[in-house]
Amino acid sequence: MICEINFDGIIGPSHNYAGLSHGNLAATRNAGATAYPRRAALEGIAKMRANLALGLTQGILLPHDRPNRRWLATLSTTYENADPVLQAQAMSASAMWAANAATVSPAPDTQDGRCHLTVANLVTMPHRSHEATETLRQLRLAFADPAFAVHDAIPAPFGDEGAANHMRLCERHDQPGIELFVYGVSGGGFPARQRLEASAAAARAHALNPAHTLFIEQAPEAIAAGAFHNDVVAVANERVLFTHERAFADRDSTYAAIRARAPWAEIVEVPVDAVSLADAIVSYLFNAQLVTLPDATMALIVPQEARENAAVWRWLQAMLAGNGPIRRVEVVDVRQSMANGGGPACLRLRVVADPARVDPRFLVDEARLDRIAEVIERHWPDAIAPADIANPELLARVGAARTALLKTLEIVELIYN
């Protein structure tokens, strides 16, 4: 039976704060701070447990091999000889943000009746540009069933950042819907990471009906304010689009186009005079998981930072007191991820599919999460300071930790020799 599966990225043992992501305000603000990989990974496990408790179907994606020595070899250097910036880029654990793994179109939307996934190239940021090869390996393993089609990344220079710039509206997950591809043109002093050409290429690869596909420009104002991905200012689930008033370059035309193609859609807009762009971005109000619960009601899973922001929490309480489609707000603690610029929505890739067609090693229940947590407790470093990333002992520990996890999960195909 088709349902939505949230595949969370397990936060890797090399999690650190190198401040590599220009335009991501949290990442640059915390550059040089000490990171806590074990705590970060356990926060992610706790979030997945909370999803299971809500009755959601939960999957995982695995940390990438770090440092990425194969990438450094293409630059004619080694980790030991690389300068500190290249070392940090090769050690990045940013693949934990699974929303950037791929763009996903479920079977009800595609002409061939398969679920299509296009791996994101992430070429705008050097530390993320080398993720696509490993992501492709994982997705082709997890989704090897003929019910899926996993596509190579779109070539450079057409930047593609995956599901973080893609939304889907439908009456139910298992029904055909409309797909919204959000791209950037200008972001003030920050780069617009999603190119229209990349979004259009993914739509063609997925064999989507052009009449049910929209290409929407993200507001330059939002990018300049720190909304480096669309999912920092808007999120959709089934018939609901939850969005900030300043998310899109042409708000009125965007809403009109959605309503013309999906008259059943409900747009829940947060006005700028209630929650400023600055408050929306610092709290990651929209970088939340908007999900349908087993009783068919909707819940919004927000980070602790949303509860701690007075304007945001006031608006959420007013929303719950009304009669809107979002009936519940759940709060999760993902502070280590948030400090590096990724909230609850960044940590997961949404795939609408039959779980029976997915490699079961990539799906989790409480017992499997217990096993993962045990590996993290035993092998993940407690802390990584900026000076540590050149330490040979840390490099060995990071590699051994990932290998221990893959062996525990019996996904040995991903171990590099």
For residue 381, which phi and psi values (nearest 5 degrees)? -60, 145
The catalytic residue among 43, 134, 305, 346 is 346
d(CA 167, CA 289) in angstroms, rounded, equals: 12
- How far apart CA 376 and CA 402 sit, in angstroms, is 9
157 preceded by a cis bond (ω within 30 of 0): yes
Side chain identity, residue 415:
I
Q: Give yes or no for a contact between 285 and 306, defined as CB atoms under 8 angstroms apart.
A: yes
DSSP string, 173-196: TTS-EEEEEEE-S--TTS-----H
> What's the pLDDT score for residue 67?
97
| Identity of residue 311 | A
* Confidence at residue 8, expressed as pLDDT on a 0 to 100 scale: 98
* pLDDT reported for residue 285: 97
How much is the pLDDT for 33?
Answer: 86
pLDDT, residue 186, reads 86
For residue 155, what is the enclosing H or E element?
none
pLDDT, position 223: 94
Q: Which of 134, 161, 305, 330 is catalytic?
A: 161
pLDDT value of position 29:
73
**Beta pairing, strands 326-332 & 298-303:** parallel
Is 161 in the active site?
yes
pTM: 0.96
346 is catalytic: yes
Q: Tell me 124's DSSP state.
A: T
- CA dist list (Å): 48 to 109, 184, 242, 305, 351: 27, 31, 22, 18, 15
The token pair that represents 81 in the structure block: 């000889």
Residue 18, pLDDT score: 78
pLDDT per residue rounded down to tens, the chain (417 residues): 899 999 999 999 999 987 676 665 555 676 678 999 999 999 999 999 999 999 999 999 999 999 999 999 999 999 999 999 999 999 999 999 999 999 999 999 999 999 999 999 999 999 999 999 999 999 999 999 999 999 999 999 999 999 999 999 999 999 999 999 999 998 787 888 899 999 999 999 999 999 999 999 999 999 999 998 999 999 999 999 999 999 999 999 999 999 999 999 999 999 999 999 999 999 999 999 999 999 999 999 999 999 999 999 999 999 999 989 999 999 999 999 988 888 999 999 999 999 999 999 999 999 999 999 999 999 999 999 988 999 999 999 999 999 999 999 999 999 975
DSSP 3-state assignment of 243?
strand
- Which domains, from first to last, does the chain contain? 3-414 (3.75.10.20)
Please identify which of the residues 116, 127, 229, 379 carries the catalytic annotation: 229
- Alpha carbon distances (Å) from 251 to 27, 154, 165, 191: 28, 28, 16, 21
